[in-house]
Each structure stands twice: as structure tokens, then as C-alpha cells.
A = this chain, B = another copy of it.
Amino acid sequence: MDRDSVRSVLESVSSGEMSVDEALLSLRMEPFQDLGFAKVDHHRGLRQGVPEVVYGAGKTPEQIVSIVRALEGRGGPVIVTRIEPSVAEVISDEIDLDYHGDCRIGVVGPIPEERVGRIAVVAAGTSDIPVAEEAALTAQLLGNEVVRVYDVGVAGMHRLLSSMEDVMTARVVVAVAGMEGALASVLGGMVDCPVIAVPTSVGYGASFGGLAALLAMLNSCASGVGVVNIDNGFGAGYLASTINHMRSPE
């Protein structure tokens, strides 16, 4: 409820159109949306049809089904991330779930076809692909054109260089890499658009579950790199989408 709405309530009270009790109820019922910092509803108004997102990990099939059904009521599609195949199978008995096993994302309802800009999702190794796919599919579902550039680790720089046109023409680059995570720095040094770096837990020994890649990406000597949590493909796709949907500044 913005300033004008509060004034409008007050004017209704002043004019007698609204009783004090009604006004009180009105002011208290949704006090926080009133303040304008309720994120979900706010951007609902701006971009109709944006999918709702459910984090599926650690939830039972029953919980997911009931949440999805609640969200379906709002009209838009629903994305559920991190669903294990066995969970997806149970859910599919109840709901018409479009399940993408490679990145464990399930989609309920039709996704808007309009896609804008272009996000390049670049992955260092084949083992990084599940995380990269989570980022890529997330971005697609959120209305972004996506180009995938996979298996271009820095140990074979020529592979990366031969895909540079795809990378250099993107509006946002998502760099997905485990092990030493050098891909983010190399990409950050090549492009001048924002780079979202996703360390993955791919590796062994001194990779310490993705810590090595995480630290490397945080210490990138290239400017313009933002980092998300280890294996957080969804977060990278979401942030890249937010950036890609930016409009020109006035």
C-alpha cells in the first residue's frame, strides 16, 4: 500500500465512506505489501506469467504436490528444482509434470514462449553439465534465449576460443566450472558483459567439495564477475535472467 493508497483510506475515513474499523482492518490486513517491499507480488504486477519457483530438495512428494497445486491457482506455470528422479516419478502420478532429468527440474503448466536477449551458459567439463543445465533451463523458463557452450575448459583453450563468437555476443555469461574454476577468470577477461560464476562440486581431493573453485572465482583477477553458491545453477540462471531483462537506463 503506497502513500497514495494510505491517503485514499484516510480520505475515505475523513469523508465517512469508510468506518474506523474498516480502515483499521484495511491498514492492518496487508501492512507489509503496503510498504511496498513484498517482492513477489510487486514484480507479479510487472511481468505477468513469470513462473513460480519451488525448491524441491528435502521436500516429500506430497509436500511438493500440495505446494504446486496451491501455486497453480495463481495461473502461471510452476518450476520445481532439485527433484530426484524417484520423487519426480511419484509426483507425476498426481500432476502433469514435465521432468528434465539431466538437471532435475520439473515444470508444471505451459511456459511462455517469448524469450529475450541471449545468455551464454559456458561449462568447463562434461561433469559440470548438470549444474549448467540447471542454469540454462532456468533461464529459458524465465524467458531468456540461451546458448549452451559446453566442455570448454581452460586446459584446452582452443576449444573455448573456437566458441568465442557465441560467448562474445551474449548479454550475460554464466560460467560453470569445478576443479580449479579458472573458466570464470578467463571468460571475465574476454567479455565485457556481466559474468555469473557458478563453482561446482566436480573434482576430488583438494577440490574439497567445490571450495577450490569457489575461492578461485571469488579471487578472479577479472572485473565484472559475481559468484553464487557451489552447484547453484538455479541461482545463476535466475540472476542472469534478472540482468538480461534489464531495460535501458533513462
Contacts and interface: CB of A to CB of B under 8 A. Distances in A.
Contacts of A13: 10, 13-14
B189 A39 contact: yes
B158 A38 contact: yes
Contact of A211 (B37, B46, B117, B215): B215
A90 interface: no
Interface residues of A, number: 110
Main secondary structure of the interface of A (DSSP, over half): helix
A218 B214 contact: yes
Contacts of A28: 3, 6
Interface stretch (A70-78, A93-101, A103-111, A161-169): A161-169
Interface in A193-232: 193-194, 196, 199, 201-232
A171 B227 contact: no
Contact of A31 (B35, B43, B154, B190): B35
A226 to B, nearest CB: 2
